[in-house]
Amino acid sequence: MKTIKDKQILVAADFAGFPLKEVVVEHLKKKDWTVTDIGVKAEDGENPEMFHRIGLKAGAKISEGEFERALIFCGTGMGIHIAASKCPGVFAGVVESVPAALRAITGNDINVLAMGAFYVAPQMGKDIVDVYLSHNLGDGYEWWPNFYEFHKVACDELNNFDYEKFKANGFEVEKLGDYPLELREKPDTI
């Protein structure tokens, strides 16, 4: 598997997300990342692949264990994210800010980050990617009791989710554990 630790990342975009993808790829290459780009490769290419087809291809590479994480781009981030999410084991999120990117990885452990080139400025895209690629589930919340455990249980339950079992169980989730969590503000002393 190509991992973040080894500075390996998958990227994909449709024609609308292409400009933002190019900015992010250039930024990552300057930081010595190995970027695997599965398209589109030109903004005005003939018959570019549609957002959902690119999203499915990116999601499949996560599902098959080829890559640990991926960055995907379309006009809004929504369509490509929906497509990637159809693949088993994909936790995709649409992100439009640095705090949202931080929480998407630290609280939700997303393995596919989607951005919309219509809404995310180039510098913001680079900042979003930097925070996403430099964190993991629970990072930065060590002061918050049970933060990691609470979110890890949620991720595990979602990874193990089987709709037919859920339905047969009266639409109740098969719990893998529980951890209490209450909203807290970060202490000033940290």
Burial 12-31 (b: 16+ CB within 10 A, else e): bbbbbbbebbbbbbebbeee
CA dist 22 and 33 (Å) reads: 14
87 given a catalytic annotation: no
Q: Give the helix/strand (H/E) hosting 4.
A: none
72-92 in b/e form (b: 16+ CB < 10 A) is bbbbbbebbbbbbbebeebbb
Active-site hit among 74, 102, 110, 128:
74
The verdict on whether omega for the bond into residue 23 sits within 30 degrees of 0, i.e. cis, is no
Q: Which of 79, 83, 125, 129 is nearest to 102 (CA)?
A: 129
Which amino acids are annotated catalytic?
74
